[in-house]
Structure 1
Amino acid sequence: MEEQPTTSASAAQARDQEHNPMLDSPMRGPTLSTSTSSFEALAHAHDPNLSKLATKMFQKTEEYITQELNAPLEDYKLLEEMNKATIAKYKDMRQIAENLNVSTNELCGKFQQLAPLMQQIDDISDTVDKLEAAAYKLDAYSIALENRVKCVLQRKSTQQTVG
């Protein structure tokens, strides 16, 4: 009993397809496809100019779609090249940073080796400053002593000439 409605439904679909003017092809009668993009072999002659234009349209459409699909690929290639250049640049910068780190460590070691010598130089500089101050005092004392000696000699010479 259940098979009968299924059969009658199939018959109804077939009847609808036969009488539906939207599904009829002008050349072949009823069809299930309403697609206009497929080429059907036509029994009658067609316009060669229209065929050339359709072929040209499909070629141009193919070129357009190909370019549209290739544009993101070109973008990805550009990004890949930029990434490679960035990687190379960061690799160079890393090498420079490592070299600077090694140089800084070497300079730090040399500075630590020179620290006692620099302390000695500072001590010598302090000693030289003290010696310079003592030399200025000695020079001032010797000038004062010389002036006193000249004064004493002048007194003696004036006493001898007076006396």
Structure 2
Amino acid sequence: MDQAIEATEELPTSAENTSHAHKNETNHESVVDLPQHATDEENDHLQLRCSEMFQKMSLYLNGEVENTIQDYILLENMNKATTVRYDEMHHTARTVGNSLHEINQKFSDLQPYLEQIETIEQSILTLEQAAYKLDAYSKRLEERFKRAQKLAQ
């Protein structure tokens, strides 16, 4: 904004109006010549518009920076929540792993007993079949005895 004020303070004379830009030989800066018909009122209006533009651009850029900051805050919160969730899942997985190890250990401890139960079950099945055969044989024997008694009478 200060440059705009400097440009209006260094208005060219009528002899310099024919060129659009010239070098100031004393300080070697570029100076833009304003047309002669630009009045102080127009310059003030132009300065006001430039000031409004810079204010609005500043407001816009501040909003963009604030949005970016909010995005980073949101990402940070999401990362923290994800970290907590993964910690919970890790704890759960560790608990499940420990429980599985305990169950496998108990199964190993019970394995001899389970084998004994399996052996006993096989023995019971064999004994049951023998009992059915014995029952069938005793029924046939009883039938024979009854026939022998009938013949003896």
Q: TM-score, normalised by structure 2?
A: 0.69
What residue number does 2:70 align with?
A: 74
The answer for the alignment partner of 1:117 in structure 2 is 113
Decide whether aligned partners of structure 1 residues 124 and 100 sit closer, same or farther in structure 2, where only a CA change above 3 A counts: same
Aligned-residue CA RMSD (Å): 2.8
Unaligned ranges ≥5, structure 1? 1-19, 36-43, 158-163
| Structural mapping, 1:1-163, within 5 Å | 21-23=20-22, 32-34=29-31, 46=41, 52-157=48-153
Q: State the identity as a percent.
A: 36
Q: Aligned residues, how many?
A: 127
Find the aligned partners of 1:78 and 1:120 in 2 and give their Cα distance. 62
CA contact (8 A) 1:23 1:31 kept: no
User: What residue identity is the alignment partner of 1:32?
Assistant: E
> Which one scores higher on RCO, CA 8 angstroms, separation ≥ 6?
2
Is the contact between residue 23 and residue 33 of structure 1 (CA under 8 Å) also seen in structure 2? yes
Q: d(CA) in 2 for partners of 1:136 and 1:51?
A: 117
Deviations 1:67-105 (A, max 9, x none): 222333222222212211221111111111111111111
Distance 2:30 2:98 in 1: 77
Whether the 8 Å contact between 2:22 and 2:31 is mirrored in structure 1 is yes
In structure 2, the CA distance between the partners of 1:140 and 1:32, relative to structure 1 (3 Å rule), is same
Distance 1:112 1:49, change over 3 A: same
- Residue type of the partner of 2:54? F
Structure 1 or 2, whichever has the larger Rg, is 1
Structure 1 Cα separation of the partners of residues 59 and 23 of structure 2? 33
8 A Cα contact 1:23 1:34, kept in partner = yes
What stretches of structure 2 of length at least 5 have no aligned partner?
A: 1-18, 33-38
